[in-house]
Structure 1
Amino acid sequence: MFLRQSSRSLRQASRCFSRPPIAGPATAVYPSRRFHDTRPLLVVKPVVLADIGEGIVECEVIQWFVEPGARVEEFSPLCEVQSDKASVEITSRFSGVVKKLYYETGEMAKVGKAFIDIDIDGDAKKEDLGALSGAPPSGSEESPQSSALDAEMTRAEGMAEAPSQITNMPQQSPGAVEASKPKGKCAMLATPAVRHLIKELSVDIADIDGTGKDGRVLKEDIYRYVKQRDFGAANMDASSPAPPPAPQAAPVSRQAPASTPGAQTETRVPLTNTQLQMFKSMTRSLTIPHFLYADEVDFSSLVELRTRLNRVLSQSNQQPQTPDAPQVEKLSYLPFIIKAVSMALYQYPILNARVDADPANSDVRGKPSLVMRSQHNIGVAMDTPSGLLVPVIKDVGSRNILSIAAELARLQKLAHAGRLSAADMQGGTVTVSNIGNIGGTYVSPVIVEREVSILGIGRMRTVPAFDESGAVVKKHVTNFSWSADHRVVDGATMARAAEVVRRVVEEPDVMVMHLR
């Protein structure tokens, strides 16, 4: 009985799995049952623009280092972008041949979107591409299921390539093709402000002779080139024969009103990338309730200490230096002030914190929280050719005066050259703005987002004052203006912290006892 049931089950199973052959001209091919198809390997890989900053959704393409048809290797530079006032160099993830650039120089690239296509197989032949994508070789018969799948894939690829084909239909003019090519060393050395001016005036940077360092093109060079170009065009128009006079038309009853002399004219100018980032950042910052606290600080002792240290520093620079020692030619007052602010933050860590009002990060009661931070990352506002930039000096608490001065000099050099990286601009906890370096005695600084305090430094001035004996002496006085977030910082806390900074600056020898 058991053997008869087993043989009956085997015969039923064989009938279920056996399928009639499909008659063909030469041979019979049995259709295969394809339960699952793996994803075909694509040769052209789109490179996605990764997130290069905190909350940044777009960035401007400054220049391309490659062009379609160029061979690239892994980790080789592709382009340079500017985002949130910082220049970042994007490298390749693959080795292959560049097939397509999605953005031109000066356009805004979206974070998370493809900005370049790279053929990882290089100059692949049609047979190789078919083998790589899983397609059967030519001459062999395909099953109905594979034919339908390939047709579906072909329709999907056609739909994906349709937008790019529509975009690439207009032929580019020779001038546009020439403008999309890299401009060489002069374009790499130009600052963002110069590149923006070149774009506004529609000139080619390769035609301009730079007078700056290492052939750098300056704004004066651009204005001089445009003036000469317009002057030459005017001379050509004057030397050309005048056109024959046109026949006079019949008199018109209504005449156009004459323009009023001195009439007001308005010209719409788009914001630069730096101005746009400042617009967004300051708009968010003004949602913070500010309060201002100002104080006068006597710099007389610091002036004497700085003079002595610079004398010692000039003598030590004439001797051989070790490679690891910070290279500082001259000390300014700013490193001492930055160190004094860091010393005050140890006593009042609330000024180094940030407010987190995101409901997703709040406690169970749904209330905002205060995030305390251990390191003192002090941002320094700098005036550069491209606008106001705020690079950050990291971990000021563990640095001495020379280390702070060396890092400050490095950031100033990169900021004026427009070469600050995203890491140099991120992570600030407190900001110091030295407006007195340009001019102005008083300032009401605006708190940077994700911070609760900022210090504005006014111009130093010499004033007469009375000493302890009643005699009139000369003193160097500077105004310190503090702005704080009144949601978490009260006036008394701010006044006590400002007093610590004032006492350290007026008696700079105190810094020696608190070196770390």
Structure 2
Amino acid sequence: MLARVGFLISSSYWLLGSQLLGITEVQIIQWYVEEGAYIEEWKPLCQYQSDKAVDDITSRYEGVIKKLHFETDDTVPTGRALCDIEVEDGKYPDDNPPHEPKAEPATSSPVNEVAAAAQAAESSLADSSTPSPPSPPPVAAPEEVPKSKSASLAVPAVRGLLKSHGINILEVNGSGKDGRVMKDDVLKFVAARNSAASAPMPTQPTASDTRQTESSVPLTPIQSQMFKTMTKSLNIPHFLYADECKVNDITTIRQKLANDKREPTKLTFLPFVVKAVSQALTEFPILNAKVDTSDPSKPRLVMRAKHNIGIAMDTPTGLIVPNIKDVASRSIFGIAAEIARLSALGKTGKLTPADLSGGTITVSNIGNIGGTYVAPVLVPTEVAILGVGRSRAVPVFDEAGEVTRGEMVNFSWSADHRVIDGATMARMGNRVRELIESPELMLLTLH
């Protein structure tokens, strides 16, 4: 008899991913099986990319793969069948799979909770049978570059870009590690191809063409999720509050600890900010709450005890916000170690839904890229966010009226003005500034 495996939100783990994170569709990165192959129970069927993380789908059946319903790089809505598996009659009596394939899914598949390696195998993009739009004649490369094993690998966002332009990944010379194809490589290839296709024939000289050349590029999964989240967020009235902090004392502490061989963790400015925000939240717990509008006529605040502080991260696939769980119970070194772990996973696309869900307030450190002030946009499930600017040296007056060197950092807060008034936001900002400027104060309540 035939069993059918699909992306069904009846699976307990997928229920967490789809309902709590708002996942409605995923992209197939690669199949681990092919039609006619034998599959064992709980062995991986395929690897997928959602707008949050990379993971595997495993098979709850043992049998022979009869049909794959989707190709590599296809986008699959939740609730659709992935494949048909021929299983031994009577082996799974409780599942009652249909004898003939039907359009709707009949059996759910549990999802493996361990994130798969995003670079586990070479892409099968070049072998995909999915029809693609005809492309202009390819541009002859000036020089044939030997392709390494990694040359056919790319993150899902780049795969989608390749597919939208009808480009074989092997035609593009990658500038990444070991020849890996990056987004800029694809865009340069498209620009060169379009330029060659639109160039006038030498025998038919024409006047200078000033018309704009445009091409349509679909949003990546992370961009799609950001589009939905920010559209929803900007329906919330934002209250903006800016301040500046003198961070000389924290810089001195960091310089002393940098020479301590007993602690290998690199200590940046950010863990101090995260800890200061957590300690301030104990005095202003409303900033750790969320607004419940499930009943529009009776909105209410949901107070949350744990401080799960989100950290905005710039990754190869876009901006993501994993969060550090229960910051109040962590030391500054523990916070630094967790930031390092999340950053490493973010760079390789291996963050799990658990890393990305449950945040209560966010810190966005734009200073490591550049910029002084920012107007950060709220996450819809939070009521406050802090943007941290770049540190800079400026002359300041000390208590004796003498001009000294001050290392200053600007803090930019945004709050949900439906429930947070300006005075509360200012008091919260002042308390964080006090803790940053006099870090010894954090020792009084440090866990």
TM (norm. structure 1) is: 0.69
- Cα 1:185–1:452 change in 2 (3 A) is farther
For 1:476 and 1:304, the matched residues in 2 are separated by: 11
User: Distance in 1 between the 2:426 and 2:165 partners?
Assistant: 50
Q: 1:493 to 1:436 in 2, by over 3 A?
A: same
With over 3 angstroms needed to count, the CA separation of the structure-2 counterparts of 1:512 and 1:188, relative to structure 1, is farther
Give the drift of 1:220: 6.2
- The equivalent of 2:154 in structure 1 is 190
Rounded Cα–Cα distance in structure 2 between residues aligned with 1:230 and 1:456: 40
Look up the match of 2:45: 78
Q: Distance in 1 between matches of 2:92 and 2:318?
A: 50
**Number of the residue aligned with 1:316:** 262
Correspondence for 2:31: 64
User: Which among 244, 262, 270 is matched to residue 334 of structure 1?
Assistant: 270
Gaps of 5+ in 1: 1-41, 122-128, 135-152, 163-174, 243-257, 318-326
1:348 aligns with: 284
CA distance in 2 between counterparts of 1:210 and 1:263 reads: 30
AA in 2 matched with 1:295: D
Q: In the alignment, residue 45 of structure 1 is paired with which amino acid? A: R
Pairing partner for 2:221 from 263, 266, 273: 273
Q: 1:298 to 1:180 in 2, by over 3 A?
A: farther
Unaligned runs of 5+ in 2: 105-123, 131-147
Alignment equivalent of 1:394, drawn from 305, 314, 325? 325
Aligned to 1:49: 8
1:338-377 correspondence runs (5 A): 338-359=274-295, 366-377=297-308
Q: Distance in 2 between matches of 1:260 and 1:188?
A: 38
1:180 Cα deviation after fit:
5.8
Q: Cα distance 1:65–1:229, how it changes in 2: closer, same or farther (>3 A)?
A: farther
Greater percentage in helix: 1
Q: Partners in 2 of 1:394 and 1:372 — Cα distance?
A: 16
Q: Quick check: 1:343–1:397 contact (8 Å CA) kept in 2?
A: yes
With 447-456 and 56-65 compared, the bigger mean Cα shift is at: 56-65
Deviation at 1:47, TM superposition (A): 3.3
Partner-residue secondary structure (3-state), 1:512: helix
What does the per-residue CA deviation read over 1:390-419, in whole Å, with 9 as the maximum and x for residues that have no partner? 111111111111111111111111111122
Question: Helix, strand or coil for the counterpart of 2:128?
Answer: helix
Change (3 A) 1:421 1:289: same
Judged with a 3 Å threshold, the aligned counterparts in structure 2 of structure 1 residues 259 and 387 are, in CA distance, closer, same or farther, namely farther
Amino acid at match of 1:478: V
Contact 1:87 1:422 in 2 (8 A): no
Which AA in structure 2 matches 1:514? Answer: T
User: 8 Å contact 2:40–2:61 — kept in the other structure?
Assistant: yes
Higher deviation after alignment, 65-74 or 184-193: 184-193
- Aligned counterpart in structure 1 of residue 211 of structure 2, from 263, 269, 280: 263
Q: Specify the code of the residue in structure 1 equivalent to 2:163.
A: K
Residue equivalent to 1:302: 250
The amino acid that maps onto 2:244 is E
Superimposed CA distance per residue, residues 479-515 of structure 1 (whole angstroms, 9 cap, x where no aligned partner): 1000000111111111111111101111112222222
How far did residue 307 of structure 1 move? Answer: 0.8
* RMSD of aligned residue pairs (Cα, Å): 3.5
Matched, 1:95 2:62: yes
After superposition, give the CA deviation of every residue in 1:185-210 in whole Å (9 maximum; x if it has no partner): 74896323332333244344467676
Aligned residues: 396
Q: Which amino acid aligns with 2:80?
A: K
State the distance in 1 between where 2:335 and 2:398 align: 33
- 1:70–1:97 Cα contact (<8 Å) kept: yes
Which of 149, 154, 163 matches 1:199? 163
* Other-structure match for 1:484: 415
Whole-angstrom distance in 2 between the partners of 1:306 and 1:133: 60
> 1:147 aligns to what?
none
> How far did 1:423 drift?
1.5
Deviation per CA, 1:437-472: give whole Å up to 9, x if none. Answer: 111111000000111000011111110011011111
Deviations 1:121-177 (A, max 9, x none): 3xxxxxxx6x8899xxxxxxxxxxxxxxxxxx99xx48x379xxxxxxxxxxxx988
For the residue of structure 2 that corresponds to 1:99, the secondary structure is strand
Q: Given that residues 186 and 210 in structure 1 are in contact (C-alpha distance below 8 angstroms), is that contact kept between their aligned partners in structure 2?
A: no
Cα pair 1:294 1:481 within 8 Å, conserved: yes
Match of residue 343 from structure 2? 412
Matches of 2:349 and 2:129 in 1, distance apart?
21
Question: Based on CA coordinates, which of the two structures has the bigger radius of gyration?
Answer: 1
Counterpart code for 1:292: L
Q: 1:283 aligns to what? A: 231
1:440 maps to a residue whose letter is: G
Residue 61 of structure 2 corresponds to residue 113 of structure 1 = no
What letter is aligned with 2:281? Answer: L
Overall identity of the aligned pairs, in %: 51
Taking the aligned partners of 2:213 and 2:80, their CA distance within structure 1 comes to: 40
CA-to-partner distance for each residue in 1:340-389, whole Å, 9 max, x for gaps?
Answer: 11111111111111000102xx8xxx511111111111111111121111
- How far is the alpha carbon of 1:478 from its aligned partner? 0.8
1:459 aligns to 2:390 (yes or no):
yes
The 1:418/1:46 distance shift into structure 2, 3 A limit, reads closer
Give SS of 2:439's match. Answer: coil
The CA distance in 2 between the partners of 1:444 and 1:290, in whole Å, is: 9
TM-score (norm 2): 0.79
Q: Aligned to 2:301, what secondary structure does the other structure show?
A: strand
Task: Report the Cα distance in structure 1 between the residues aligned to 2:230 and 2:129, rounded to whole angstroms.
Answer: 34
More displaced, 186-195 or 486-495? Answer: 186-195
Q: Which residue of 1 aligns with 2:139?
A: none
The answer to whether the Cα contact below 8 Å between 2:161 and 2:218 also exists between their aligned partners in 1 is: no
Aligned equivalents of 1:77, 1:133: Cα separation in 2: 19
Alignment of 1:216-235 (within 5 A): 216-219=180-183
Q: 1:178 aligns with which of 115, 127, 139?
A: 127
Residue 380 (structure 2) aligns with:
449
CA 1:464–1:496: 2 relative to 1, 3 Å: same
Q: Please give the alpha-carbon distance, in whole angstroms, between the structure 1 residues aligned to 2:211 and 2:126.
A: 41
1:49, distance to aligned residue in structure 2 (A):
3.3
Q: Distance in 2 between matches of 1:113 and 1:426?
A: 24
The Cα shift of 1:104 comes to: 1.9
